[in-house]
Amino acid sequence: MDKLLVSPSPHIHAAVSTRSVMRDVAIALCPAILVSVLYYGWSELLVLAVSVASCVLLEWAITRWLLRKPSTVGDLSAVVTGLLLAMNLPCTTPWWVVFIGAVVAIGVAKMSFGGLGQNVFNPALTGRVFLLLSFPVQMTDWTVPQGFLRNVDAVSGPTLLGKVNELGLAGVADVDYLQTLLLNIGGSAGEISALALLLGFGYLLVRRVVKPWIPLSIFATVALVSGIFHLASPEVYTGPLFNLLTGGLILGACFMATDYVTSPMNVWGGVIFGVGIGFIVMMIRYFGSYPEGVSFAILLMNMTVPLLNRAFHQKKFGRA
Amino acid sequence: MPTTIIWTIAILAGLGLLLSLVLYLVAAKFKVEEDPRIDEVEKVMPGANCGGCGFAGCRAFADAAVKAPNLDNNYCPVGGNEVMKQVAAILGFEVKEKAPQVAVLRCNGSCVNRPRTNVYDGAASCRVKAALYSGDTACSFGCLGCGDCVAACQFGALSMNPETGLPEVDQEKCTACGACVKACPKQLIELRPKGPRGMRMFVSCVNKDKGPAARKACSAACIGCGICAKTCQHGAIVVENNVAYIDPAKCKLCRECEAVCPTGAIHGVNFPKPLDKEAVKARIAERARKAKEAEAAAAKEKEENNG
Amino acid sequence: MAKVTFSIGGVHPHDTKLARERAIEVLPLPQTLYISMAQHLGAPAKPVVAVGDRVKTGQVIAEPGGFISAFVHASASGTVKSIAPRADLAGNMVPHIEIAVDGDEWVEGVDLSDTLVTEIPSDRAAVLDKIKACGVVGLGGATFPTHVKLNPAPGSTAECLILNGAECEPYLTSDYRILLERTKEIVVGAAIMQMVLGGCRCVIGIEENKPEAIEAVRRALTELPYDNIEVLPLKKKYPQGGEKQLIDAVMHRQVKSGGLPISVGAVVQNVATSLAVYEAVQKNKPLITNTLTITGDCLPVERQHNYLFRIGMPLSYIAEYAGGVPAEAAKLISGGPMMGRAIANLDAATVKGSSSILYLRADTTLRKAESACIRCGRCADACPMGLEPFLLNRLYKAGDLEGLEQASAHDCIECGCCLYSCPAYIPLLDHIRQAKGQVMGVIRARAAAAKAAAEAAKAAEEAKKENK
C-alpha cells in the first residue's frame, strides 16, 4: 500500500454484515424448506423458485430503473423475503399468483417505503395477506401433490385449523400431537414441520442473529389465552398444545415477528409486541371468520412498532 | 333495509356536525392574534426557509421585521434588493440596498495541483474529517472534498466536480444565504460581491504556511510572496500570515495581480476576454520604466534646483 | 472467585495479543528527539529553555501552562536545536522542542539503580509535589495529570484505588509486559498512591486472558509488606478498561452522567502510571520513558516487539529500528484498534501516552460501504453506556441538538462498540463524536450563561445593599 489509510476509530469490525445476517436467516429456513420439498415435490420447488426469483428481480429492477440507485439485492434481504413468501403459500399456488405476491411484497411493502430498513410492514406477510384476500380460492387449496418421499394418493382438504373453523372440535378429535410436531402434511411449506422450524430458529439463536424474547412471549401468550379458554369450556375451544403446534404460528413467531425492521428494538417493547401478536392470533382463531390469524396479528402489531420504539429505551449507564 | 341506510346517514351526518362544532369552538378559543402584516411580508418572501437572514425561517424573519424599528439588521440575502423593497413598502420602512453577493471557494487544491498523501476512510463528512486530522493532502488549510457545503445548499447551487475534487458554485443559482459558509469546517467559502457583470477577482487559497511548504503541498497555493500587493495600484491587496487577500471594495478589476501571480492562486472570473498575461506584464513594466524616468527626472530637477 | 465485569453492553473482539511473549527491549537513542508540548490533557506546556541551551537527561524543559497541565523533561542529553511547531501524528501543528542528542548524561539526584525501594514515604504533600515535578500523567490513554487526579477536591474521599490492568484493547501488550517484568514496582506505586489517597482499599483489575500477570501480581503481593491491596480477575470484555466500566466492574457503582469517579469514591489509575509514580517518588526519575508495542496482523511474531522508548523518539525511527513498515500494512495506528488514532504522519514524535504502533492489513481495517440501517439494535446492545447509537446518528443528521442532549449524546465514551458491531457499516461513532462535541458545547454555554447571570444578580444585590 503506497498511501496510508486514515480513519476515525474503531479500526476493526465484527464479522457481521447485513448480508451475513440475511444469509443466516436463509440458512435457518433450510430445514423446513427441505422437508416441504421432500413431501410436496416439484410444485413446492416451483413456488419457491418463482417467489425468490421474482423478489430478487423486482428489487433489482426497481432500484435500477425507478429509484436509479445502486442495487441492494446483494444484501440478500430479497431472497429472505422470497423464501418467507413461498413458505406462506400453498404449494399448489399458480406461478402468476406467486409473482403478484412478490410484486406486493417487494414493490408495495418494501421498496415504496424506501427499501430495506424503512418498511413498516413485513413484506412477505403483506404479499401473503394481499393474495389471501384477492385469490381466496387458490390460497386455500390445500391439495397435497406427489412428493419425493411420499407415494400416496393425493388428498385434498382443509388444514387442521380449517377443520376447527368449519366443523368445530369434532373435526380434530383424533389429532396426534407428535405427528403435528414432526410432520404435519397439509398446509403451506411453513406449516409442515414445527421441528424443522425450531431447529432453524435454534441456529439463529446460537448465531445470535435474533433474541428469543419475541417468540417466547408470543408462545406464552398463545398458551395462556388458549389455556384459559380451554379450561373454561374444553368442548368449544382448542387447547394450548394444539394452538402452539398448528398453523403458521411457529413460522410467524420465529421468523416473521422477529424481522428486525418491523419489530421493536428493545426487549420490553418486544415482549409487548409478542403479547399483542399472541392475543390477536387467539382472538382470530377463536372468534374470527378466518381459521388462521398469525399474518394479520403480526401486520397489526407491526403498526405499533414505531410507538413501542418510542416508549421503550435502553437503560442508560449511571442514570437511575 | 332503507331504515338502516337512513340511520347510517343520519348518525354519520350528526357526528360530522358535532365534530365540526367542536373543531370550530376549539379554533375560536385558541386563536392567536397576530399582526396581519406578518402574513403579508411572509407572502413576498422567497419561502426557502434557508436561514440565510439569521432567523429560523421566512415566517420568523417576517415576524422580526414587523417588530423591528427599521430594516437595518434584517436583510434577506436570497430575495435581495427586490424582495426587500417590497418588504419595506409593506412596513413603511426605508431599505438600504446591498450589492448582490455570491459564494466563492477559496481553495484551488484540485487533484492535479494538490497530490494526495494518504487515503481517508471515514464517514464522508468534512466536519468528521477535519476533527480527525489535517486532511489527506499536505495542505492542512484546503478543501477536504467531502461536500458538506453541497449538502448544506438548499438551492442546488453547489456541486462536487469529480475531476478536481472541489465543489463548484453555480453563480446563477447561488443566493448568498451563507449556509455553505457555516458548513465548511475550514472556512474556505466567502461571500463576495458579485461585481459588475459578474466580474470579480479573488485569491483562491488560504494556506498560511510559509511559501516553500505551501508550494510543496499544492502547486496552486498562495505562497505569500507579495508580488501582487506590490503591483496593485489601488491598495486592494494585503498579505497577512503568508496569504494574500483582495479587498473587493478597492479592487478595480485591472487583473494585473492575476498576471503577476507566480502560482496562479489569483483568479479573475467572468471577464469577457481571456487574460493576456504578457500584455499586462508589458504594461506593468512600461509603467515601472516611466515611473523610474519620472523619478530620475525629478531627481535631476531637484539637483538642478539645488545647484 | 467469580469473575466480574461491567453490567451494560460491551463487545468481544478477538484479543490477538500477538506480542505477549516478547520481553521488553530498550531502544537505543536516536540523533534527534522532538518533544511535544501537548502530551497531556489540558493546557500545553510552556518551554523554559532557549535554542542553543545544553540540556541533561531528566532536566525540565517546559513547565505547566495551567492548573491542568504537566512538566515536560528532556529525555536525553543534548542541545536544544529549535522550538517550533511540528506536525503530530494527525498532521496538526503542535509546538515541539527539538533536541540534538549527544548522549545520556542525567541530571543530579536521580537513582538509576535497579534496587527496589519498598519504604513508602509518609509526607503526602511532598509525594504529590514529586509526582507533579516528574511530569506524571495518566498513561491509560487520557493523559490526565496524575497529581490532580490523586488530589480530590476537599469533601470527597477515596474509598477505592483501582489499578487498571485490564488492557482490553486487542493487540496491545505493553501493560501485560510491565505487569510481568516490573510487577513489584507497580505494586509499590500502588501503595504510594494508596497512601496519598488516605489509605483506602486498592484493587488491581486484570482481565482473565492474562493469567500469568494475575499470578505475578499475586506473588508480589505476598512478598511485599502492604495491606489492603488485592488482585481482581475480570471477565474478558471490551471496554473493560474504560474508567466508568472498570468502576462498575470492581465496585458495582455507576458514576452519574457528567460526574467524576471520585463522586462514587473511586480513583482509577493505569498500571503504567503506577510504574511512573514509583519511579518518580522512589527514584526521583521523571516520566521520560514508556512501553510501546510494535504489532499487527501483517507482522510475523519474531518481528513483533515490546520496547522501552524515550519520549520524543519519532515513530518512524522506532518503526525503522523494528525492521521497517511491512509492505502489507494499509493502516498504522497509535494505540489499540478500537480507540487508537490512525497515523497520518509517521514522522510524528512519540508522546507520554504512546502505547503502540499497530500495523493493520487493508482487509482487516478497510471499512465496507455503508448501507441502510436494518434496525437490528446491535449498536444499542453493544453500547456500554446504554445509549442508542442508531437514534443518536439519526438525531445528529437531523441537527436536533435538544434531542441529542435528551438521548445523552454527551455520555458517549467513544469506545467504538457501536460501529464495530453495525452490520450496515454506518459510521455511527464518527457522527456521534461530532454530536457529543456539539452537545457539550451547548451544555458549557448554558453553564457559562447561568454563571454570568448569577454573578450579575449578585452584583445587583450588592449594589442595592450599598445604595441602602
The SS3 call for residue B307 is coil
In a domain, A4, yes or no: no
Residue listed under C-alpha cell 491598495: B235
The one-letter amino acid code at B2 reads P
CATH code of the domain containing B213: 3.30.70.20
Chains that touch B (3 or more CB pairs under 8 A): A, C
Residues B114 and B86 in one domain: no
The pLDDT of residue A169: 67
List the Cα angle A82/A252/A44 in 5-degree steps.
45
Of the candidates A5, A18, A266, the beta carbon closest to that of C342 is on A5
The answer to whether the CB atoms of A18 and C421 lie below 8 A apart is no
Residue B47 pLDDT class (50, 70, 90 cuts): confident
Residues B115, B172 share a domain: yes
Sorted by sequence, the CB contacts under 8 Å of residue B210 that are 6+ apart come out as: B224, B242
Domain stops at, among A139, A169, A202: A139
Tens digit of each residue's pLDDT, chain A (320 residues): 578 999 999 999 999 999 999 999 999 999 999 988 888 888 889 999 999 999 999 999 999 999 888 888 999 999 999 999 999 998 889 999 999 999 999 999 999 998 898 999 999 999 999 999 999 888 877 776 666 665 554 455 566 677 666 666 666 666 666 666 666 666 777 788 888 999 999 999 999 999 999 999 999 999 999 999 999 988 888 888 888 888 889 999 999 999 999 999 999 999 999 999 999 999 999 998 888 889 999 999 999 999 999 999 888 998 76
3-state secondary structure of B149: helix
pLDDT at position A284, please?
93
Run of H or E residues at C96: strand C93-103
Q: In this predicted structure, what is the pLDDT of residue A171? A: 61
> CA C407 to CA C384: how far, in whole Å?
14
Question: Which of A105, A139, A173 delimits the end of a domain?
Answer: A139
Specify whether A273 is located in the same domain as A214: yes
3-state secondary structure of C260: coil
pLDDT score at A320: 64
**Angle between the A213-232 and A267-287 helix axes, to the nearest 10 degrees?**
40
The mean pLDDT value for C108-121 works out to 92
Can you tell me the distance from the alpha carbon of B244 to that of B248, in angstroms, rounded to the nearest whole number?
13
Which range marks the domain in which residue A282 is found? 160-310
Residue pLDDT, tens place only, B247-294:
999 999 999 999 999 999 999 988 988 888 889 999 999 998 998 998
Give the CATH number for residue B41: 1.10.15.40
Domain total in chain A? 2
Check: CB of residue B208 under 8 Å from CB of residue B106.
no
**Torsion angle of the four alpha carbons B257, B259, B264, B267, in this order, in degrees rounded to the nearest 10:** 60
What number of other Cβ atoms are within 10 A of residue B283's Cβ?
14
Residue C159, CA atoms < 13 Å, CB-side half-sphere: 10
Quote the domain boundaries for residue B208.
195-289
Q: What local confidence, expressed as pLDDT, does residue A153 receive? A: 47
Alpha-carbon distance of B3 to C380, in angstroms, equals 58
Mean of all residue pLDDT scores within chain C: 93
Largest CA distance in chain A: 79
Q: What does the pLDDT read at residue B94?
A: 80
CA atoms of C434 and C437, how far apart (whole Å)? 5
Rounded to 10°, the helix A194-206/A18-40 angle is 160
Q: Among partner residues C365, C366, C434, which is closest to B128 by beta-carbon distance? A: C434
Please answer yes or no on whether B125 and C430 come within 8 Å at the CB atom: yes
> Does residue A132 share a domain with residue A241?
no
Indicate whether B179 and B204 sit together in one domain: no
Both B134 and B176 in one domain: the answer is yes
User: How many structural domains compose chain B?
Assistant: 3
Percent of chain B whose predicted confidence (pLDDT) is above 90: 54
Euclidean distance between CA atoms C289 and C104, whole angstroms = 13
Contact between A1 and C328 using a beta-carbon 8 Å cutoff = yes
Last residue of a domain, one of B130, B152, B187: B187
Position C293 pLDDT exceeds 50: yes
Whether residue A198 lies inside any domain: the answer is yes
**Whether the predicted pLDDT of C140 surpasses 80:** yes
Inter-chain Cβ pairs, chain A and chain B, closer than 8 A: 26
Grid cell in block for residue C44:
500545553
Average pLDDT score over residue span C319-334: 93
Are C99 and C78 in contact by the 8 Å Cβ rule? The answer is: yes
Distance between CA B5 and CA B1 in Å, rounded? 7
* Predicted structure pTM score: 0.89
Band of the pLDDT at C133, cuts 50, 70, 90?
Answer: very high
> What single DSSP character describes residue C323?
T
Taking an 8 Å cut-off on Cβ atoms, the answer to whether B121 and A5 are in contact is yes
Omega prior to A10 cis, within 30 of 0:
yes
Phi first, then psi, for residue A168 (nearest 5°) are: 80, -175
Nearest-by-Cβ selection for B132 from C87, C90, C437: C90
C224-272 per-position pLDDT tens digit: 999 899 999 999 999 999 999 999 999 999 999 888 999 999 999 999 9
> Residue A165: which of A297, A293, A283, A289 has the closest Cα?
A289
Last residue of a domain, one of B152, B187, B222: B187
Q: Which three cell numbers stand for residue A260?
A: 428486525
Grid cell listed for A188: 403451506
Whose grid coordinates read 495518566? C138
Q: Is residue B17 part of a domain?
A: no
Cα–Cα distance measured from residue C19 to residue B66, given in angstroms and rounded to the nearest whole number? 71
pLDDT at C35: 96
DSSP H or E run through C404: helix C401-406
Map out the domains of chain C with their CATH numbers. Answer: 112-283 (3.40.50.11540), 370-468 (no CATH)
At B53-101, the pLDDT tens digits run 888 888 888 888 888 888 877 888 888 888 888 888 888 888 777 888 8
Task: Check pLDDT > 70 for residue B12.
Answer: yes
B204 and B179 inside one domain: no
Cell numbers 456500554: residue: C384
Contact B109, B88 (CB under 8 A): no
ipTM (interface pTM): 0.89
pLDDT in tens, B182-225: 999 999 999 999 888 889 999 999 999 998 999 999 999 999 99
Quick one: B228 and B254 in the same domain? yes
B181/B202 same-domain check: no
d(CA C219, CA C204): 13
Of the candidates A4, A12, A316, the beta carbon closest to that of C332 is on A4
Average pLDDT of span C117-126: 92
Tell me the angle at which helices C183-196 and C211-223 cross, rounded to the nearest 10 degrees: 60
* pLDDT of amino acid A176: 65
Nearest CA in chain B to A5: B119
Q: Which grid coordinates belong to C461?
A: 444585590
